[in-house]
Amino acid sequence: MPYKAPVEEFRFLFDHVADLATVSGTDRFAEATPDVTAAILTEAGRMCEEVLDPLQRVGDTHPARLENGVVRTPPGFDEGYRAIADGGWVSIGADPSHGGMGLPMTLTTAVNEMMSGACLSIQLNPLMTQGQIEALEHHASDEIKALYLPKLVSGEWCGTMNLTESQAGSDVGALRTKAEPNGDGTYAISGQKIYISWGDNDFTTNVCHLVLARLPDGVPGTKGISLFLVPKYLPDEDGAPGRANDLRVVSLEHKMGLHGSPTAVMQYDGATGWLVGEEHDGMRAMFTMMNNARLGVGVQGIGVAEGAYQHALAYAMDRKQGRSLIEKGTGTIIDHANVRRMLATMRAEITAARSIALACAASIDMETATGDAKWAARAAFLTPITKAFGTDTGIAVANTGMQLHGGMGYIEETGAAQYLRDVRVTAIYEGTNGIQAMDFVARKLSDGGEAAHAILDEIEAQAEAARERFPDLAEPVWQAGETLRETVDWMLAQKDMNQRFAGAVPYLRGFARVLGGHYHLLAAMAEAREGARTRLARFYITRLLPEHVSLLAHATSGADDLYALTLEDLGA
């Protein structure tokens, strides 16, 4: 089934859940009027449907490959990328002084999701560039900004992020890549990086790598790491790509999915680079890009979930099997109760995850526009939930879509399996979901629970406001908020961090469950009379929200029973 961009869904959520009007009411984002927003969504949606969606299967069946040191991308990817770049979709949120649109992250998030739903393999490229643009805007010298940002913003050049090494995955501080001063303000970068998404391509004139490396006087661990900009081609005096830098693609990873997107092993042999930010402060600068990417990766999961859902719905409406047990049915498998349950679960989960992501993006926008520390804390708090729950939702929905197809879901020609293969990595990269959960119970509670309690206050206040109209929906959401508040307080009481870490994943998921109920209730309240959104909210709150009870019970079980199991008990 051809992908259909959920433009109207975004417009509804902007108006009633993410509150884009508050964002556009600031001086910083005053140009994000309803007319501009509608035009952006419509045009981006059309590009996704007409240009990117046809590349979804092409990228899977004609993978990116390395030929004689040159990366060859799938047929049509050059035209697809050019449509993204020429449409300005790389740089929606970039500073207008360098050619960007300067529009809210909330709008960028919607466009990124639509591109992910149409073709995740190609969308990963501009996502990396968007993160690099933000990192350079915040940390690079004026000279670097003037030379690189216009070309990154226009899509003429693209960007990557180089953190991981074979011995330094999540433990970035164990990296061995070195940076030696050249004496002229540049540095010689030497080392090898792995898992570099879109490490090279054959459709942009330059690829700009942000590389973490250690200077000779850098102390061990993350505090001794610096960040460098290392281009594939060194710019000449006119800023055009000049001679090749001393770097190369060693190989491309053989992956489960995302075959259209080249994931490279990169070798740097004294490559020329420029320092970004201060010496030994590379992690802070890189985290600017990583936080952008964590929101973006969560949105990738949601986009794939939307694509998988549309694919499954079309199949359910077409496939005839069994006898319908309902009057005036369609005669297809969508009449069957279990198929209906699967589809309702998929749709309800997408709405919950999408609402969380947009709320996170809107918080980032409000922080940008106002500088208010409370918005910054809210954005930081919602980021790991967005990343982990968004990608978990993508995996679960894609898996359910395969199940709905029955045996045909296991046959590659139907395309159902590709969604699951492509989205599976999103729970792993940009910090595994387990690491997101550990951050959620550690750094995100380091304020004594202030950000968490502020969100819980909103959830309970909204539930109180909804009691008169929807008593059957408001009460469970309010009670879920109270149970979650007790769990937050339990986490805060644990001074041994391992007690928190043992239940971090179910705690994060339980928080997402309750947020999902809150946003579904908001959507129901926005309807003039009971309609599709109220019915979907009732399904979520009745059937899915109760999972928070077991999740939060798991979260508060501590770590003792885990370590009571001996290695022999585990079969080691």
Look up the domain containing 518 and give its range.
438-562
Residues 23 and 34 sit within 8 Å (Cβ to Cβ): no
pLDDT digits 0-9 by tens, 383-398: 999 999 999 999 999 9
Residues 420 and 395 sit within 8 Å (Cβ to Cβ): yes
Kind and range of the H or E element at 162? strand 157-162
Task: Specify the range with the lowest mean pLDDT, choosing from 82-86, 464-468, 525-529.
Answer: 525-529
Residue 146 in any domain: the answer is no
What does the block give as tokens for 514?
């309750």
For the segment 162-172, the average pLDDT, to the nearest whole number, is: 87
| Residue 81: per-residue pLDDT | 98
Q: Distances from the Cα of 140 to the Cαs of 148, 172, 184, 285, 290, in angstroms? A: 10, 21, 17, 9, 16
For the beta carbon of residue 22, count every other beta carbon within 10 angstroms. Answer: 13
CA distance 113 to 117: 6
Q: Distances from the Cα of 27 to the Cαs of 109, 115, 255, 370, in angstroms? A: 20, 29, 45, 9
Q: Distances from the Cα of 313 to the Cαs of 316, 323, 346, 394, 435, in angstroms? A: 5, 19, 10, 16, 33
pLDDT digits 0-9 by tens, 305-337: 999 999 999 999 999 998 888 988 899 999 999
Residue 443 in any domain: the answer is yes
The residues that are catalytic are 430
Beta bridge partners of 233: 244
pLDDT digits 0-9 by tens, 414-427: 999 999 999 999 99
Alpha helices by DSSP H, listed for 405-529, are 416-423, 433-441, 450-466, 471-493, 497-502, 504-526
CA distance 10 to 472: 27
Residue 497 in any domain: the answer is yes
Confidence of residue 284 (pLDDT cuts 50, 70, 90): confident
Percent of the chain with pLDDT over 90: 93
Kind and range of the H or E element at 413? none
Q: Distances from the Cα of 550 to the Cαs of 15, 441, 530, in angstroms? A: 33, 18, 30
Residue 357 in any domain: the answer is no
> Can you say whether residue 62 is alpha, beta or left, with left for phi > 0 and alpha for psi between -120 and 50 degrees?
beta
Looking at residue 544, the DSSP 8-state letter turns out to be: I
| Residue 328: per-residue pLDDT | 86
Confidence of residue 1 (pLDDT cuts 50, 70, 90): confident
| Residue 172: per-residue pLDDT | 84
Residues 445 and 495 sit within 8 Å (Cβ to Cβ): no
CA distance 455 to 459: 6
CA distance 564 to 572: 14
pLDDT digits 0-9 by tens, 104-162: 999 999 999 999 999 999 999 999 999 999 999 999 999 999 999 999 999 999 999 99
What does the block give as tokens for 66?
């390395």
Residue 45 in any domain: the answer is no
For the segment 62-77, the average pLDDT, to the nearest whole number, is: 96
pLDDT at 252 over 80: yes
State whether residue 210 is helix, strand or coil: strand
Q: Distances from the Cα of 466 to the Cαs of 13, 351, 462, 519, 542, in angstroms? A: 18, 19, 6, 12, 16
Residues belonging to the chain: 572
Residues 290 and 430 sit within 8 Å (Cβ to Cβ): yes
pLDDT at 42 over 90: yes
pLDDT digits 0-9 by tens, 443-454: 999 999 999 999
Confidence of residue 513 (pLDDT cuts 50, 70, 90): very high
CA distance 254 to 261: 11
For the segment 466-489, the average pLDDT, to the nearest whole number, is: 97
Q: Residue 187: CB partners within 8 Å, gap ≥ 6?
A: 179, 180, 181, 213, 215, 228, 272, 273, 274, 275
Closest CA to 334 of 307, 312, 350: 312
State whether residue 102 is helix, strand or coil: coil
Percent of the chain with pLDDT over 70: 100
For the segment 401-407, the average pLDDT, to the nearest whole number, is: 97
For the segment 466-470, the average pLDDT, to the nearest whole number, is: 96
Residue 479 in any domain: the answer is yes
Residue 527 in any domain: the answer is yes
Q: What total number of domains does the chain contain?
A: 1
pLDDT at 290 over 80: no
Residue 142 in any domain: the answer is no
For the beta carbon of residue 536, count every other beta carbon within 10 angstroms. Answer: 18
| Residue 245: per-residue pLDDT | 98
Confidence of residue 169 (pLDDT cuts 50, 70, 90): confident
CA distance 434 to 384: 10
pLDDT digits 0-9 by tens, 520-530: 999 999 998 88
Residues 193 and 167 sit within 8 Å (Cβ to Cβ): no
Residues 228 and 266 sit within 8 Å (Cβ to Cβ): no
What does the block give as tokens for 30?
């005053």
Confidence of residue 482 (pLDDT cuts 50, 70, 90): very high
